[in-house]
Amino acid sequence: MAPSFELHPALAVTALLLVLLVAHYLVDQYGARRHYPPGPRGLPILGNLLQLSRDAWVPFRRMKEKYGPIVYLNVFGHNIVVLNTLKASADLLDRQSAVYSDRPTVPTADTLTGSMFFPTMKHGERWSKMRRIAQECLSKGASRMVHPHQLKEALLMTDALLRSPRNWDAQLRRASASIIASATYGLSSLESEDDPEVTRVNEFAYTLLAWITPTKFVSEFLIKYLPTSMSKAKKGAQYWFEEYTSRFTCLYKDSVTRMSQGGSKTNLTNIVCNRKDRFGLNDTESAWLLAAMFSAGSETTSSVLMWFIFMMVTYPDIQAKAQEELDSVIGRSRLPSFADLDQLHYVRAIVRETLRWGPVIPLGVPHRATEDNWYQGYYIPKGTICVANVWSINRDPELYGKDAEIFNPSRHLDEHGHLNPALVDTKDESHATYGFGKRICVGRHVANNSLFISIATILWAMKIKPPKDVNGCDILPSADNIVNTGLIMRPVFFECNFEPRFPDAETVIANEKELIV
């Protein structure tokens, strides 16, 4: 009697997947591939996997030079289209947003968030409800509610930079987190970046970032077909979803309790509470929405400020020019305020240029096509992952001139030194850093205000200088030394000095600090 043979379920699933992958590859190579946008040929089954590096924005830009503004890749059967120009990105992601407002499926991330994290959520009814309420919370007009928090934290951050310059990056992270924590939950100013209220949300953000990088959208291809019992990643993500839901719900309910006991109501929790029934959100969804606003804003804002410090050390002439404007408009007897915004053209140009030159999410967060589409004669099938190469767009010489690689705030000013109208298709930003379509960053108005008042206050109070080597030469940081999480990019920590710009600067700061502490 012949021995019986049973194929292990995992091997059976793997074998089936391999067959499907080979079939998909053959169809792709010899069928519809000729209608796709141009792009590099890939390997059998793997496709273009080896071309998805952690700093993919650089090779993607080189592909533009060879294949044009739209580049097609295929990885493990996943179609990917890289958009390297503002026009292509706006044509698809803005003007055809009904087709390109979805997000790719990342099984572990979806399990980790219970599909309730607004920035990465799939397009659908829940996302639409959260988006509408988030827009009301963070609109240009509503963002003024955050001004008092931003003014306070800009002052405290500047004071801390003068007193404790060695850990200046921690001061930026603390201030950025504190603004968002105060604005979201009505919390008091945070003592440090390690405050327990912050770490519980930041821990989640770092965990999620590890799973939503562009490379993860394809490396999890096999995982999504495995049952939870066969995937350690899925089991771990399910545990953390329950843990984070508990944490976020506590933050939300504690904020509601503080308001009911007479606490400040100038926070996003109050707005969400007043609108959640109208939009049909339950308490768990409300808690996750608020956590999304917090976690999405804190890390990105502090990273932009790190690039600002980098530029001020590297370009002392730009720093000096901004300080001349501050002296002319404000003088030296008071700190900057939001009332000065319309007169501080050069400072606002520095904000724009920092966001343009150093986009902290250089590839954005990818979109996904929900139906077959054609663009300029090219076929983009349903399910295609669409990546806007923000870094490449922001350095396009056709948009920004031959010096697009250089940090130059004056490119945003007219001949009178006033802020130029923003470039077309940039939503009044003059850069593509905040994204496109219905997935554009809803918190950009709050972010712009935080950056403006923080940068204006720092430049008003101090000179930022590089350290010297033994020969008395400046030690400048290198733009090649970056921290790259796969999604967020910022400079590696570098040494620099913060000195009061004039004798009374510290006195003015101390007097203002007494009024708010």
Query: What is the spatial distance between Cα 234 and Cα 108, in angstroms, rounded to a whole number?
Result: 6
- Report residue 33's pLDDT band, with 50, 70 and 90 as the boundaries: low
- Report residue 28's pLDDT band, with 50, 70 and 90 as the boundaries: low
Q: 59-93 in b/e burial notation, b at 16+ Cβ within 10 A?
A: ebbebbeebbbbbbbbbbbbbbbbbbbbebbbbbb
Query: What is the spatial distance between Cα 157 and Cα 454, in angstroms, rounded to a whole number?
Result: 8
- pLDDT tens digit sequence for 123-140: 999 999 999 999 998 999
Query: What is the spatial distance between Cα 152 and Cα 148, in angstroms, rounded to a whole number?
Result: 6
Binding site members for heme = 441
**Structural contact between residues 420 and 463, judged by C-beta atoms closer than 8 angstroms:** no
Backbone angles phi, psi at 500, to 5 degrees: -55, 135
Over 60: is that where the pLDDT of 61 sits? yes
Residue of 326, 329, 325, 322 lying closest to 353 (CA atoms): 322
- pLDDT tens digit sequence for 197-239: 667 666 777 777 666 665 555 555 555 555 555 556 667 788 8
- Strands 78-83, 385-388: pairing is parallel
Determine the pLDDT at residue 502.
Answer: 95
Query: What is the spatial distance between Cα 421 and Cα 345, in angstroms, rounded to a whole number?
Result: 12
* Long-range contacts, 414-421 (Cβ 8 Å, 24+): 417/345, 417/346, 418/345, 419/345, 419/348, 419/349
In this predicted model, which residue has the larger pLDDT, 195 or 448? 448
Neighbouring CB atoms inside 10 A of 474's CB total 12
Binding site members = 441
**Structural contact between residues 444 and 364, judged by C-beta atoms closer than 8 angstroms:** no
Determine the pLDDT at residue 32.
Answer: 52
- pLDDT tens digit sequence for 279-291: 899 999 999 999 9
Over 50: is that where the pLDDT of 296 sits? yes
Task: Catalogue all structural domains in the chain, each as residue range(s) with its CATH number.
Answer: 9-516 (1.10.630.10)
Residue of 105, 69, 25, 98 lying closest to 378 (CA atoms): 69
Residues 450, 456, 458, 463: is their CA dihedral positive or negative?
positive
**Structure-block tokens of residue 47:** 């496709």
Whether pTM exceeds 0.75: yes
> Which has the minimum average pLDDT: 3-17, 104-118, 258-272?
3-17
The mean pLDDT of 6-22, rounded to a whole number, is 56
Contact residues for 144 (Cβ-Cβ < 8 A; gap 6+): 338
**Structural contact between residues 267 and 285, judged by C-beta atoms closer than 8 angstroms:** no
The mean pLDDT of 60-66, rounded to a whole number, is 94
The mean pLDDT of 308-329, rounded to a whole number, is 98
Mean pLDDT of the chain: 88
